[in-house]
Amino acid sequence: MQQMREAVRAGVKDRPGVYRMISPDGEIVYVGKAKKLRTRLMSYFRAEYPADKGARILREAGEIAWDYHPSEFAALLEELRLIKRWRPRLNVMMKRDARHYAFIRISRGPAPKFQVVRSAGNDDSGTYFGPFHGAHQLEDALRELNDALGLRDCRADLKMYFADQVELPVAPPRTPGCIRHEIGRCLGPCVAATTVREYASRFDVARQFLEGADDAPVALLRAAMEASSEDLEFERAASLRDKIVRLESLQDQFARLRFAVESLSFVYRVPGWGDDDRVYVVRRGRVRAELPAPRTVEEEQALAARAAEIFAPPEKTALTVPAHEVDELLLLSSWFRKFPEEFLKAEAAERFPRALSA
């Protein structure tokens, strides 16, 4: 411990950087970043209680290694890359404590369904939307959406029998797969009570609702609520009002995600330590290029051309983020939420001419 403290005191400068805590047998147990590296590392040696985060990390470390980076932003990106590469034990453990976001997965097949999952998978068997906060809240809201539009919420691998299937391999079950069909909350694609086309069109309404393009589910519930009030069925009207609130909160979550993904497209110049200024070309919340800041007219033109190249190609599904890029999207949106003045300094993608043709 004393040796590590002396090494930091003697060798670390107070500038942005990334540090690695390495165990005596060479394992990288923790990676961190700091705007002022020396100050941050010295704070580890002042941890008062054994349960403090700093004390817990130091107990596992036999050596500290560090690298300097031109800015806090650059250090933050490098920290994320190293964590993804090495998956240090203590980062994973501490992050797991803090992980509280969820995703909506849309399964493929003739009767697609929504499902709340804890992480965006790398598989090709579904489309993922997210990240969102609050898995339980998401589940409640999706239940309302399924009920309002008659969509299924059963096991993904359950056999479906559509009414318009030319030839059914086996006769559909005579009784509904579950009570949801009996009480009018599911179209019943498991018992040939609906067609492929009808189910698909309801599912499409749900998707459009989530993307903010169709308000039909809320309009349906609102009409039912008003009718209930007129019939003096106040308990039912109150229950319908709660359903509307849950659906609207889901729509809000999607609107926030859309804003995060779509507004994070720009060129971001960051002054660096010792004039090592950098430029980041960010598209849909992910850094697509990191370049030295241009110092001449020619370099400025080269940057504009590179940025236009990055912004130009159209990208599919507005709210789908590849699983391996979710952490970077979260990191960037939290950085610009924390420092809104930095967001104002960024140059919007539209300023780069070929972006307009995308």
- Could you list the residues that contact ligand SF4 (CB under 6 A)? 152-154, 158, 176-178, 180-181, 186, 188-190
Q: Closer to ligand SF4 by CB, 130 or 177: give it.
A: 177
**Is the distance from CB of 19 to CB of 88 less than 8 angstroms?**
no
CB of 89 to ligand SF4, least distance (A): 42
Among residues 182 and 315, whose Cβ is nearest to ligand SF4? 182
Q: Please identify, using beta-carbon distances, which residue of 190 and 349 lies nearer to ligand SF4.
A: 190
Distances (CA, A) of 46 to 61, 121, 196, 278: 15, 40, 65, 34
Is the CB of 186 or the CB of 221 nearer to ligand SF4?
186
Judged by DSSP in three states, 34 sits in strand
Please report how close the Cβ of residue 189 comes to ligand SF4 at its closest, in angstroms.
5
Question: Can you name the residues that pair with 287 across neighbouring β-strands?
Answer: 282
- Residue closest to ligand SF4 (Cβ): 177
Q: How far is the CB of 178 from ligand SF4 (least distance, A)?
A: 3
Q: Going edge to edge, which strands form the sheet with 266-270?
A: 286-292, 278-283, 266-270, 347-348
CA dihedral 220, 222, 227, 228 (to 10 degrees): 110
In whole angstroms, the minimum distance from the beta carbon of 215 to ligand SF4 comes to 24
Give the DSSP H/E element, type plus range, for residue 64.
strand 63-68
Helices (H), the chain: 2-11, 37-44, 53-60, 72-86, 89-98, 135-149, 179-182, 196-210, 216-230, 234-263, 297-311, 326-338, 340-345
Q: How far is the CB of 322 from ligand SF4 (least distance, A)?
A: 30
- The nearest distance, CB 191 to ligand SF4, in angstroms, is 6
CA-to-CA separations, 43 to 11, 39, 74, 189, 288, in angstroms, rounded: 15, 6, 22, 61, 34
Q: Which is nearer to ligand SF4, 161 or 254 (CB)?
A: 161
Q: CB of 18 within 8 A of CB of 32?
A: yes
The residue (of 115 and 263) whose beta carbon lies closer to ligand SF4 is 115
| Distance (Å, whole) CA 301 – CA 66 | 35
Residue number, 15 or 113, with CB nearest to ligand SF4: 113
Shortest CB 190 distance to ligand SF4, Å: 3
